[in-house]
Structure 1
Amino acid sequence: MPIENYGVWKATPIRYTYETKEQDPKSPHLSLYYRDEEPAEGRAAINIKSGDKSDSRLVYWTVPDFHHPIIEGLADLSPGFHELEANDDLALDYIRSNLFQRQTGKLLPHDIEGENNDILDTLKPIVDRAISSKATVYLFGSAFGDGKGIHNVHMNQGSPRRWARDNGVYHDGCLIIQFDDHWEGVFLGFASQAVHTGDSGRDAGQPTPPQGYLKWADFLDVDIAPEDRETNELCDRPVLITEAMVNPKGPDNQPGVAPETVTLLNRTTSGVLLTGWSIINKSNQSQKLPDGDVLSTGSSRKFEVPNCPLSNKGGTITLLNADGLKVHGVSYTKNMARPEDAAISFN
């Protein structure tokens, strides 16, 4: 069952405190205090250590120049807490919303000696800049029952054992910051959480496959030999989405006549059989790739997606393999889609 009271709190950050390993060795938090239009301060309790004794590290992704279709909806919100349902356009999902590229994540401990080597060293400078700039913060998570703050500001799916009761899709927490001239995203998870989760029913948000699932620790751990990490990544991301024609023009510059396309690149040293693979958009409309087609090694190819329309108002594009697992995903904004007959490139 997903976390309760899920939503986003729009506010202005004013100060923060945090707990070191001496102050709280079990469940430390960074507490970010903020104001909206109410006179009382609110508090965001941000986990900075996992409660999983087998691996207490966090996994985090920072996006210093965050472009995603969600930002237009966020900017229109009034200050305060806004409850969200899973089908709301603003509800976030680390796996399905294509908020960041998975391989850019890093695993860090809570608080250790030295500089720039733990989660506190990473979070504090970002929060300091947000406060000094009087930026607007959007805190995704679960509102406290008393309405005085928010927690679960992290990935809320793919958790094992006793934490599995909180697993769900489109209920993930994070911190998104709106500065005067750009947006930034901070996304936090736990090393023991799953890279892939089920989409619906009883499996929604649960690790998939149920046994032997891929954890963030396995996907990102720098202690794994470089050649093994590369092998793991290629196995999980053998094909990339490199371009999309979202706003094409046909003959005589007739809009909507030419087909929308998605370009795929095979990164591996062997051909990839595309039978059973599909491309899906933000609305979960799906385009099956041709059965029997093989994307040869190192090659790129454009695929028409008539059953998976690509919105000119911004959206997501996700590539799934024959098992229904995410291979790669990208997002684009309305501004990126505005130029006519120009492909959007994804790095």
Structure 2
Amino acid sequence: MGLDKGYGVLKCHAIAGKKELDKEAPHYQVHVKDDQFSYRLAINVRSVEQPFDLFYFVDDDFEHFITDKLDKLNFGFTEIEESQRKAGEIALDYIRANLFKVDNLKPLPFNLPGENNDLNELIDSHIQRAIDTQAVVYAFGEPWGPENKPDKVFDFKPGRGVHNIHMNQGNSGNFARENGVFQDGALLIHYPSAQGSHDHWVAAFFAFQSQSFHTDDRTGNPIAIDQRVGTEPVEPGVSAVKAQVKIVAALVNPRKEDTGKESITLINSSPEKVDLTNWAIADSLKRKHRLQGLSISPGGVVTVSLSGENIQLSNNGGIITLVDDKGIKIDGVSYTKEDAQQQGWTIVF
């Protein structure tokens, strides 16, 4: 079904942050403003189901082609319609958009004795820095309001905000109705350049340990996979397939005399030989280049030349995904327009 009240991204500035420590389903609450209105961001820091600790990953120097698109948005909430929830657009998908390696997600309790050691404090450190530097905050998730009453946390009126700022697929049980693809939540912060630091982005991703990281391409519902060489048991919070073959490099922008000679370099990190027959490399638009007659020895490397007839790697940034013969994602990377600027240079991931 997807999120009941829609999906989108709020571009805003942070005004204040507040930790919740004494509730069954605590959130880290953020008061933010666009050019006109106040909003509240409700960021889950603990699950209502076991395991209670959330998965998180913070990329302190996030690079992805969507940041160019986000920069161009107006302040305020931008609704991302169903037709825009696909690869190549600004909608987020933890599995399909190659925003980060899913294995980077780690569990963290929401409240622990001491300083700078729990999820509340981690989020608070970035929000406080965003306030101090007047950074631009982008909150992806589900909107609510405006309500005909003051906000229950920060008391501004009318109450409105964004929640479900976490992965919104792979749910089972009561939360399965919220499943969908390209509707995941996250918090992105664009810090301006300052003395001693460069203009850069920070991205924070959150997921529940009860969610599956292998989901149906249409519904976002969890699906099972067959066990075979290179796979791990499919358990909540565990990547569905161990990436025995990885994308390590790509020639995206060939020299003029080499036009059409784009290539992808793969490495087999496993101790077993891997047959790549009927595997495929996919681009941002899900066009596929099928692999035939290729295998990789343990520790071996192979460079796949692309014809330009089936998939094309955009010089404006994009994603590259490797899937096996059953269509299961094995690995994925992303690159930016800046990465692809210099002709003839291979991008190393």
TM-score by length of 1: 0.88
Tell me if structure 2 keeps the 8 A contact 1:245–1:260. yes
Give the partner amino acid of 1:152.
Answer: N
Tell me if structure 1 keeps the 8 A contact 2:212–2:238. no
Cα pair distance change 1:79/1:27, threshold 3 Å:
same
Tell me if structure 2 keeps the 8 A contact 1:17–1:30. yes
Taking the aligned partners of 2:320 and 2:272, their CA distance within structure 1 comes to 24
Structure 2: gaps (5+ residues): 148-159, 193-198, 228-232
Cα pair distance change 1:263/1:211, threshold 3 Å:
closer
Kindly provide the CA deviation profile for residues 280-328 of structure 1, in whole angstroms up to 9, marking residues without a partner as x: 11111111111x4211110111112331110011000011112212111
Tell me if structure 1 keeps the 8 A contact 2:17–2:30. yes
Task: Name the stretch that deviates more: 116-125 or 334-343.
Answer: 116-125
Kindly provide the CA deviation profile for residues 203-245 of structure 1, in whole angstroms up to 9, marking residues without a partner as x: x2111218997245345xxxxxxxxxxxx9xx61101100111
Give the partner amino acid of 2:237.
Answer: A
Taking the aligned partners of 1:111 and 1:153, their CA distance within structure 2 comes to 19
Tell me if structure 2 keeps the 8 A contact 1:107–1:217. no
Please list, as runs of the form range in 1=range in 2, the aligned pairs for 1:1-347 lying within 5 A after superposition. Answer: 1-3=1-3, 4-20=5-21, 23-24=22-23, 26-38=24-36, 40-52=37-49, 54-88=50-84, 89-146=89-146, 148-180=160-192, 181-200=199-218, 204-209=219-224, 214-215=234-235, 217-218=237-238, 236-249=242-255, 253-254=256-257, 256=259, 258-290=260-292, 292-306=293-307, 307-346=310-349
Aligned residues: 319
Tell me if structure 1 keeps the 8 A contact 2:213–2:237. no
Taking the aligned partners of 2:38 and 2:31, their CA distance within structure 1 comes to 6
Tell me if structure 2 keeps the 8 A contact 1:59–1:216. no
Tell me if structure 1 keeps the 8 A contact 2:13–2:134. yes
Q: Secondary structure at the match of 1:44?
A: strand
Structure 1: gaps (5+ residues): 220-231
1:276 Cα deviation from its structure 2 partner: 2.4
Tell me if structure 2 keeps the 8 A contact 1:98–1:316. yes
Cα pair distance change 1:192/1:260, threshold 3 Å:
same
Give the partner amino acid of 1:177.
Answer: I
Taking the aligned partners of 2:345 and 2:329, their CA distance within structure 1 comes to 26
Give the partner amino acid of 1:338.
Answer: Q
Cα pair distance change 1:70/1:207, threshold 3 Å:
same
Q: Secondary structure at the match of 1:98?
A: coil
Taking the aligned partners of 1:345 and 1:211, their CA distance within structure 2 comes to 31
1:254 Cα deviation from its structure 2 partner: 3.0
Kindly provide the CA deviation profile for residues 33-86 of structure 1, in whole angstroms up to 9, marking residues without a partner as x: 111111x4210111111121x211100111100110000010001100000034
Q: Compute the RMSD of aligned alpha carbons.
A: 1.8
Taking the aligned partners of 1:210 and 1:297, their CA distance within structure 2 comes to 24
TM-score by length of 2: 0.87
Tell me if structure 2 keeps the 8 A contact 1:86–1:170. no
1:102 Cα deviation from its structure 2 partner: 1.8
Cα pair distance change 1:86/1:317, threshold 3 Å:
farther
